[in-house]
Amino acid sequence: MRLAAIVTWLITAMLGIRLLRLWLSHGGPRRQAAKVTRFPAALLFAHPALALTALGCWGAYLTTSHRILAWLAFGALALTALLGFTMSTRWLGGGRHARGADQPLPLPTILLHLAGGLTTFVLILLTRV
């Protein structure tokens, strides 16, 4: 299950990188029409930074078997998930945070990224329980 978690994690990361590249190639933050739809820079950078930190902790756990590293990975992954949930609800949701017609991100890739993140989170949780 430990290796399955890292495999799903890497697949999810590749999908996330694809989404970030697409978003940046289509203007990124400059393209957003209204101020209220903007993703704060802290949110945009904290999500992947926390995910990489958690992945590093998980990799260190796999090589050393120190349980504290696994719990650190789980905590960082939980924060990553909260930030990702915030971004996805702002992008997919309606109302004043709606994405608008000019946003280039493909829904199937977003849903696969979300599913991969959820699967990784559950695998890490099951490994630690």
Mean pLDDT, residues 101-124 taken together? 83
Encode pLDDT of 2-61 as tens digits. Answer: 889 889 999 999 999 998 888 778 776 665 555 555 567 678 889 999 999 999 999 999
Which pLDDT score, from 0 to 100, does residue 36 have?
53
Exposure string over 4-40, b if 16+ CB within 10 A, otherwise e? ebbebbebbbebbeebeeebeeeeeeeebeeeeeebe
Encode pLDDT of 65-103 as tens digits. Answer: 999 998 999 999 999 999 988 887 777 665 455 544 445
Which pLDDT score, from 0 to 100, does residue 35 have?
53
8-state DSSP, 4: H
Amino acid, res. 33: A
Can you say how many angstroms the Cα of residue 95 is from the centroid of all Cα atoms in its chain? 23
Which pLDDT score, from 0 to 100, does residue 94 have?
55
Whole-structure pTM value:
0.79
Which pLDDT score, from 0 to 100, does residue 129 have?
45
